[in-house]
Amino acid sequence: MVHAMVTQALGSLARALLLCAALFSGTAYAQAIEAKSIEDLVAILGAGDFTAKIDATQALATTGDPRLVPILQALLDGNLYARKSDHLVVIGKEQGGTLTATDPLAEKVIGQAPVADFERARVNNRLRTVLQTALGALQLAHPDPSRRKASADALFKTPSVEMIEPLRLAIEHEHNGTARRALVRALAATELQFSEKIDAKRAAVVTLAALADPDVRSYLNGRINSIPETANAEQQELKAAMTAAVVQIERRIASWQTFGNVLQGISLGSVLLLAAIGLAITFGVMGVINMAHGEMVMLGAYTTYVVQLAFRQYLPGGLDYALLVAVPAAFAVSGLVGVAIERGIIRWLYGRPLETLLATWGLSLMLQQAVRSFFGPTNMQVTSPSWMSGAVELTGGVVVTYNRIWIAVFALLVFGLLIFIQRRTQFGLQMRAVTQNRRMARSMGIRSGWVDALTFGLGSGIAGMAGVALSQIDNVSPNLGQGYIVDSFMVVVFGGVGNLWGTLVGAFGLGIINKFLEPYAGAVLGKILVLVAIVLFIQWRPRGLFALKGRAVEA
Amino acid sequence: MTKLLSWARAAAVAAGALAGVASAGPAFAQAAAPIKVGVLHSLSGTMAISETTLKDTMLMLVDDLNKKGGLLGRPVQAVVVDPASDWPLFAEKARELLTQHKVDVVFGNWTSVSRKSVLPVFEELNGLLFYPVQYEGEESSRNVFYTGAAPNQQAIPAVEYLMSRDGGEAKRFVLLGTDYVYPRTTNKILRAFLNSKGIADADIMENYTPFGHSDWQTIVGQVKQFASAGKKTAVVSTINGDANVPFYKELANQGVKATDIPVVAFSVGEEELAGLDTAPLVGHLAAWNYFMSINTAQNKAFISKWHAFIGNTKRVVNDPMEAHYIGFNMWVQAVKQAGTTNVDAVRQAMYGQKFMNLNGQMAVMNTNHHLSKPVLIGEIQANGQFDIVWKTPGVVVGDAWSDFIPESKPLVADWTYPWVCGNCTEPKFKN
Amino acid sequence: MRRQGSLFFQTLGDTGGTILVALLLAAAVLVPILNGLPASSPFHVSNYLVSLFGKYLCFALLALSVDLIWGFAGILSLGHGAFFALGGYAMGMHLMREIGTRGVYGNPVLPDFMVFLNWKELPWYWYGFDSFPFAALMAVLMPGALAFVFGWFAFRSRVTGVYLSIITQALTFALMLAFFRNNFGFGGNNGLTDFKDILGYSLQAPTTRVTLFAASALALALGYVLCRFLVSSRLGSVLIAVRDAESRTRFLGYRVEHYKLFAFVVSAMLAGIAGALYVPQVGIINPREFAPANSIEIVIWVAVGGRGTLWGAALGAVLVNYGKTYFTGALPEMWLYVLGALFIGVTLFLPKGVGGSAREWIGKLMARATKAKLALAPQPGVTE
């Protein structure tokens, strides 16, 4: 049954593409088919110019030959090569300068040769679109539902009249919900554009209007634009229906957008939280005006780079999990540097908090330059693991990227861990004791120097862990930390110095406010407004959101 | 200890300078005295990420020249200073290079504001500056040679490509930029150009963000929304340096594909992509006068020389490096021709100076102090390189004053007789 | 205790200050003369040094203004660069208007960047800046007004300590972002540049430069005398009391916020003057001057020089900036290590800064000398 469907689909596709191609490239295309065998056309894919390749792709697709899927896919992925000496076209896999060549039609390995002997077949965006459509048509019955969805999406973007029947058939046999929705969408678009019956077109508009989907809005707008003012009454009526559908979709999208803003605000807030949380300890709890905080974050990001490098070298298969190793590694690196800083410099400066500003500023200059000398001044490449790439598309065009979801989860985990350490462990107890009353704590037998060093190390280590997360969304460069230092201080002060919960609320509050302002005021003005709001807020609450009470305040 | 020593040295220099001892003094052995080349690129601060590479490029070029026997029978010495991405410090360092080190020429600057900052110094002291970065135009100083692209050598051809069939026949444009003069100017020129091609203002969206902007969620969302009006939409990005990596990461993660909304960038080259996983960005575009992937013998030689010099085969080559390569070699030719490093003589010798660029085409220095260069459009590949999908048939003459800005249209830059002017509507000298 | 008659000597009070003022006055007179000597003369002061030290003197005045509030009123401003930059912008706007038709587009009224952004007329806030006295007044008043409004709210709300420091940082950061905006009417990122002349004298002429140098030296000397006068007066004593025990001073009946506000406004005005003198000498003013990092650096100059000494702050500004000039040239790839190590070293080993430690050493030496003198002299108290 499925086989029959595929055959039928391919048959229709052949006709469809014939039609499309005839429309677009006319005679040149017709000649291409008549004159050339499959082998000749594949040769064009390897070496021709873009127009020739597009004609060849369309001509190849009309043959309906299932062997073509890997070839077209290889061309799309940049794995199709032509040998320089004799223009032999192969599917290639490159590794370390050597190309493993596969015969494109026979699908068997021919042999290995230096990659320099081959020229990669080039693709541009126009060819890419044609390839995606052709592959979409060829893969409507692919066993992988995500591929079927991708095919349906490709057909939605460039509908063609001959695909109506194959799409109907495909919908009948589709059991996967996501793929089915995509197919229904593609069919509605195709019918709206090509169906001869006005009822079918009306029905298609109704189907499309029910979706809160920006792509559909885009498509409908395109259709509306294509109907001229002079069209007949039937057309005008259809145009009015589509316009109403667009309004309906837009209204639904707008209400989703508010929700989207909240999500984006939470995402920005979690980035701010991560950046600030280490500072909430070194500055908030210990009172060190720690200008080198940003550099601790930067060290964490560079540690991620080094860990990924090591994985690539020794354990390429595990690269996806490198980040899991990078988190403790970054904590260790930044934490140890932090302990060293505390023992070497900060401990001489207790009771002189303003002078820690001077020393840590000097330190921050040196650390930046050290990284620059050691790694070079350019950006380091940190790749995203597959589980952090891509996005979830909620309805209404709200897109939440996986990396931001993970960063939000990570931020909350780190925060929870910190609260746990502070509230529930022996070390946390000692930490609180020393910061509240050093002399009393010492009299109780707490080694205050040791606790100071570990506290500073903890704050720095957490900053390092933040660096792992920030490496996923920002540059890994010597300037990484500088970009976050001002914001971090704002968050800690806004929330109330010395209060971790204040930092949490402050970060999310500022993040969400910023994201609600940005669409109206623009990125720059939005940020200015947030800063002004902070200044005014501090007038109202001079000790931040959650002020510490008691004698410690005056100190 | 070393710190103390260097302080002692600093103090000695200070004391000497204050006492008025001219630091140059009478030159010994005039014949063997080196020709000095100033290198004014930031090695620290925000611009170090881009400019340090250019400093190394200059050191390599100078080194290479010395291996070939120097210039005019004299060795060539590079004098490197660090203006630290601090614009007023650029002016101070330029003055130091010209008056204290007495350099014969300076190669340097990246940002427009740093160039604006040193401009009065070079004009006052009649120095010579080679500026290697693509910029907004609207300037032609007697003391500067601009070896990067003017807007007509980058922006306009790129947009023409987007409107062509191969480029996707875009009908609607988003102009995204960092809020400073280069994007503002380029977008102003582009808007005028698009209007002249029949694209209405309603189909153009402009958006500006601060330097180092790192949260692109909202803006990428806005772009997608703008693109859903039923017309093919393209993004023209003049986003600067640091902000690009988070921008492209957001673009990739939100699934903006080049086949749906192509992004063409003017400030993203091989160096910027080196910090990115480019697999999800394949097909997005950039316009430059040079790409590392160019397949010519000169280019391969240059790349291997660079790798040998820097000791790392992973380092990339980018457009401003080629600009320095052309600029430096042209300067060397001009000095040979003039037989002296005297600024006025060299300037005269520069006009019409030709040098083979890494494309295998002839770069020419025009009398408006801008180069003739080819324009290339490249698509980002999964390996971090660009694949050239389009190029101008020949070289394009750099235009200092854009024809698309009414105020600058009548202005002419021509530093030869009878004009002798950077921004005039008529020649200074008339018969 | 204090006699009215010798107010001048009182205000100089300390040896360091006297030396500083004497040096500045001498420089203001001698440098123009030495600069006028032919270049071959061993006593010739080059244009390079004149412009370099002219810039340092502006920084010194800025550092002095920070020391006035940090050293004597305990207000740590991490946003003082904002006042400096505002003063600079006021002067820059005047210099922009002075260009007249010599701009690239030849517009007699609009600066180039406005022509370029398609502006048709001068925005209202640019009115009046064609007059030098108005611009000079604004260079003082604008920073003063901002400081007054900001300080009025902040000190009345009793925002103190790090909270105050961080909101001053927020202030300068917000201003930086605002000035970066091209629509704001101040030239965006490029700022104001391409100046031609001041009061009709070409800015590129050595005589103009040396005059500006002398003006900066005089401004610093006057600024120093003013600050010394303020801190030696009764107001100064109250400020020091506020610095050391704010609540106690308030309970004693002093309107603490008024004293702080006064010092803050005076300090902002001094910073504005420094900015106004700085711009014609470096030829550019742009939003980077508002960057929080710049403001932090100012505080560091003061700390290196010695907080609470006034003359030490000026010394610190010159020292750090000279170090920067020297090392960015001599050790272009290592200078950040040197500068960073210097900051750490000063904090650890010279907690009172270069100036404060010098004063201590001199004090000790003098004490030893006095002791020695006493030992030699017949001691009536002992011989009994």
Residues 6+ apart with CB under 8 A from B165: A126
Chain C 257-286, CB below 8 Å of chain B: which residues?
282-284, 286
Asked whether the beta carbons of residue A378 and residue B282 sit closer than 8 angstroms, the reply is no
Count CA within 13 A, CB hemisphere, residue A434. Answer: 24
Q: In percent, how much of chain B has pLDDT > 90? A: 68
C171 touches chain A (CB under 8 A): yes
- Residue B329 vs residue A390, higher pLDDT: B329
Residue C341 lies in a domain: no
Neighbours of chain C (3+ CB pairs under 8 A): A, B
Q: What range does the domain containing C143 cover? A: 4-291
- Residue A68 vs residue B377, higher pLDDT: B377
**Span C132-178, pLDDT tens digits:** 999 999 999 999 999 999 999 999 999 988 889 999 999 999 999 99
Among the partner residues B9, B14, B423, nearest to C104 by beta-carbon distance: B423
Q: Which two tokens stand for residue A21?
A: 């191609």
For residue A500, count other CB atoms closer than 10 A to its CB. 21
C76 contact residues in A (CB cutoff 8 A): 354
The backbone torsions φ and ψ at residue C122, rounded to the nearest 5 degrees and listed phi first, read -70, 130
The backbone torsions φ and ψ at residue A118, rounded to the nearest 5 degrees and listed phi first, read -115, 160
What's the pLDDT score for residue A34?
53
Best to test chain A binding among C160, C288, C297, C344 (most A CBs inside 10 Å) = C344
Best to test chain A binding among C67, C158, C162, C288 (most A CBs inside 10 Å) = C162
Q: How far is the first Cα of chain B from the last one, in angstroms, to the nearest whole number? A: 69
Interaxial angle between packed helices C311-330 and C15-36, expressed in degrees from 0 to 180 and rounded to the nearest 10: 50
CATH topology of domain A256-554: ABC transporter involved in vitamin B12 uptake, BtuC (1.10.3470)
Residue C375 lies in a domain: no
For residue C32, count other CB atoms closer than 10 A to its CB. 18
The backbone torsions φ and ψ at residue B197, rounded to the nearest 5 degrees and listed phi first, read -95, 10
Question: B31 with B74: CB under 8 angstroms?
Answer: yes
How far does the CA of residue A390 sit from the closest CA of chain B (Å)?
A: 4
Residue C124 lies in a domain: yes
Distance (Å, rounded) from C-alpha C300 to C-alpha A354?
A: 10
- Alpha helices, DSSP H, located in C181-291: 206-232, 234-244, 246-251, 256-282
Q: How far is the first Cα of chain A from the last one, in angstroms, to the nearest whole number? A: 82
Residue C165 lies in a domain: yes
Best to test chain B binding among C208, C328, C339, C344 (most B CBs inside 10 Å) = C328
Distance (Å, rounded) from C-alpha A231 to C-alpha A237?
A: 10
Asked whether the beta carbons of residue A479 and residue B49 sit closer than 8 angstroms, the reply is yes
A539 contact residues in C (CB cutoff 8 A): 153-154, 157, 159
- Across A442-446, B34-38, B297-301, least confident range: A442-446
What's the pLDDT score for residue C377?
60
How far does the CA of residue A247 sit from the closest CA of chain C (Å)?
A: 34
What's the pLDDT score for residue B277?
84
Regions of chain A with pLDDT less than 50: 1-2, 4-32, 550-555
How far does the CA of residue C246 sit from the closest CA of chain A (Å)?
A: 10
What's the pLDDT score for residue B27?
38
Whole-Å CA distances, A135 to A130, A271, C228: 9, 40, 82
Residue C378 lies in a domain: no
Best to test chain C binding among A342, A346, A354 (most C CBs inside 10 Å) = A354
Best to test chain C binding among A345, A346, A369, A540 (most C CBs inside 10 Å) = A369
Q: How confident is the model at residue B357 (pLDDT cuts 50, 70, 90)?
A: very high
How far does the CA of residue C267 sit from the closest CA of chain A (Å)?
A: 20
Domain boundaries of chain A, sorted by first residue:
2-143, 147-226, 256-554
Regions of chain C with pLDDT less than 70: 1-13, 375-384
Distance (Å, rounded) from C-alpha C268 to C-alpha C82?
A: 9
Q: Which two tokens stand for residue B148?
A: 């990067």
Question: B375 with B152: CB under 8 angstroms?
Answer: no
C288 touches chain B (CB under 8 A): yes
Asked whether the beta carbons of residue C330 and residue B9 sit closer than 8 angstroms, the reply is yes
Q: How confident is the model at residue B317 (pLDDT cuts 50, 70, 90)?
A: very high
* ipTM of the complex in this document: 0.89
Whole-Å CA distances, C42 to A494, B21, C45, C207: 59, 6, 9, 20
What's the pLDDT score for residue A381?
86
Residues 6+ apart with CB under 8 A from C337: A365, A366, A369, A370
C336 touches chain B (CB under 8 A): yes
3-state secondary structure of A91: strand
Residue (of A502, A542, A206, A162) closest to C164 by Cα position:
A542
Residue (of B252, B255, B317) closest to B278 by Cα position:
B252
Q: Which two tokens stand for residue C347?
A: 């904090």
Asked whether the beta carbons of residue A366 and residue C340 sit closer than 8 angstroms, the reply is yes
Q: How confident is the model at residue B31 (pLDDT cuts 50, 70, 90)?
A: low
Question: A56 with A45: CB under 8 angstroms?
Answer: yes
What's the pLDDT score for residue B11?
47
A361 touches chain C (CB under 8 A): yes
What's the pLDDT score for residue B123?
93
Asked whether the beta carbons of residue B230 and residue A223 sit closer than 8 angstroms, the reply is yes
Q: How confident is the model at residue B12 (pLDDT cuts 50, 70, 90)?
A: very low
Chain C 242-281, CB below 8 Å of chain A: which residues?
247
Mean pLDDT for the stretch of residues B408-426: 90
A532 contact residues in C (CB cutoff 8 A): 170, 174
Distance (Å, rounded) from C-alpha A27 to C-alpha B183?
A: 44
What's the pLDDT score for residue B25?
36
Residue C357 lies in a domain: no
Residue C174 lies in a domain: yes
Domain count along chain C: 1
What's the pLDDT score for residue C165?
92
Q: How confident is the model at residue B5 (pLDDT cuts 50, 70, 90)?
A: very low
A482 touches chain C (CB under 8 A): yes
Distance (Å, rounded) from C-alpha C239 to C-alpha C74?
A: 8
Count CA within 13 A, CB hemisphere, residue C276. Answer: 27
Among the partner residues C181, C286, C325, nearest to B92 by beta-carbon distance: C325
What's the pLDDT score for residue A155?
87
Q: How confident is the model at residue B23 (pLDDT cuts 50, 70, 90)?
A: very low
A280 touches chain C (CB under 8 A): no
Size of interface A-C (CB pairs under 8 A): 120
- Residue A237 vs residue B97, higher pLDDT: B97
